[in-house]
Structure 1
Amino acid sequence: MTPRRSGVSWTQTFLHIQGRGAADCHTYPDRTPILEIPTGSSVVKIVLPATWVDDAVRVFARELAEQAHAFALEVERLHHTQQADRREEAA
């Protein structure tokens, strides 16, 4: 993916999971949740404005959930394909 140049600073971070990752959603009664993705000695935390949820934050959270679901479906598809290939090679 090539980032678009818009005159704004940008960065990319890659978190290699290699089967040892986790995903945790920490919820609190009086502030927004924190999504934490730890793996090995690294951790990524997705943090929203602490106490205010406007429509843009809600839309982002929904999009994050939808893309995480699409990611999971693709991982399942690849796993199934690779398992089938291994069975064929063993036969």
Structure 2
Amino acid sequence: MTPRRSGVSWTQTFLHVQGRGAATCHTYPDRTPILELSAGASVVKLVLPATRINDALRVFARELAEQAATFAREVERMHHRQNTHNTMRGENVA
């Protein structure tokens, strides 16, 4: 996802996950969910308007899910490649 610049201020935040990170979706009966990503002492929360969901937000949520799935597949692919390479070199695979 590339930030769309439209003449308003914007920011980029990097959450460096080294070791154990966490992703948690908090759901509520009467408000939108909150997606929380954490690593170490840092936390990023993705928050939507509390009670109003329009089609653009629904499309965004679907795109987020699809890109997260792509991210997971790439991490799995690289992990498998690393383990295969280490096994061929006779190294311990953890």
Structure 1 length normalisation: TM-score?
0.90
Match of 1:70 in 2: 70
Match of 2:35 in 1: 35
Match of 1:44 in 2: 44
Task: Indicate how the Cα distance of structure 1 residues 23 and 4 shifts in structure 2: closer, same or farther if over 3 A, else same.
Answer: closer
Unaligned runs of 5+ residues in structure 1 are: none
Distance 1:30 1:80 in 2: 42
Distance 1:28 1:3 in 2: 29
Distance 2:38 2:4 in 1: 28
Q: Deviation at 1:78?
A: 0.2
Superposed CA RMSD: 1.8
What is the percentage of aligned positions where both structures have the same residue? 72
Q: How many aligned positions are there?
A: 90
Letter in 2 for 1:83: N
Letter in 2 for 1:15: L
Matched, 1:82 2:88: no
